[in-house]
Structure 1
Amino acid sequence: MRLTLEPLDPGRDLALLRAWVTHPRSVFWGMQDATPAQVHDEYARIADDPHHHALLGRADGEPAFLMERYDPSHSPLAGLPELRPGDVGMHVLVAPTDAPVHGFTAAVVRRVMEECFADPAARRVVVEPDARNDKIAVLNAAVGFVVAREVELPDKTAALSFCSRADFTASALGGTA
């Protein structure tokens, strides 16, 4: 299976994106009741933000996941004492499906981490999932994330977590970052 990434186009990809972010399995994405206009506006805002990028992931050419990469010093995490130069923030959403493929989500998370570490300046990847999201916590641990602490963000209590290149390479799903 070939996993590729390309810039998300908020206009072209709107119907697909809205179906993903409003799906009941995507509850932790925080957009359950978003209208098409709200989804478009959010991703148009990201497209205009030099510190935040949304990428559409494809599996063998078919849309399959969403990746966001951001500079945590220009995010709601700005000012946290744990942040360091070279940190890269990341969000990932695998498209909801009625026909899950064993190992697919793990492969996506590994590919997303490889993309984050493709930039030689990236020293650590930062994530801040909802602290109640047990499924992503398992995946994050499998690629080397370590929870630093819980932090209160405007929309959730988040499990602030970090993964260094060395942690990723040594992890169960690790790569050669």
Structure 2
Amino acid sequence: MVIGFIIGCEIAFWVVLAVGLLLRYPLRRPRAGAVVLAAVPVVDLVLLVACAADLAGGATAGSRHALAALYLGFSVAFGPSMVRWADARFAYRFAGGPKPEKPADKRAHEWRLFRLAAVAWAITCALLGAGIWWIGDPARTLALKAGAGQVTFVLVVWFVVGPLLTSNKSGRKQSTSKTKRR
């Protein structure tokens, strides 16, 4: 049931986003589009309620519940920027808005994404911790504890392949260009 809700919520996120943007730009109904876009967080609330109901019904917390916490963490952290990203492209395509620009500074962009990932990690771990506390039975929460470790591992890997690697590459490029100028 929980996996179905995760999949359904991901589909619902994109459907609500598309409907809101279609109302806002091609159909020229900006207020209606804003109302629909404001409903995007309701999708996350539905998943949270579904997971809570499953656990309240006596289910042992499994990897599906940890995945739901991860989905919620990333949705809350990255959702607003994803909506802004899509909004800028719809505005350009359908309302004569400015052409969306690619990030000029790759290193700054990677650090911004990592900060969002760290927020997602914090939200995910808070949800997992709340689930562990709420259930109150260590035998029923092993998957939630494991999920916290897994999401921490993902954050460390993200740091290494994202901002750390990008910072090292740009540092080498700067030193190489300074050497060539001499």
Larger radius of gyration: 2
- With structure 1 as the length reference, what TM-score do the two structures score? 0.33
Highest relative contact order (Cα 8 Å, sep 6+), 1 or 2? 2
- With structure 2 as the length reference, what TM-score do the two structures score? 0.33
The structure where strand makes up a greater share of residues is 1
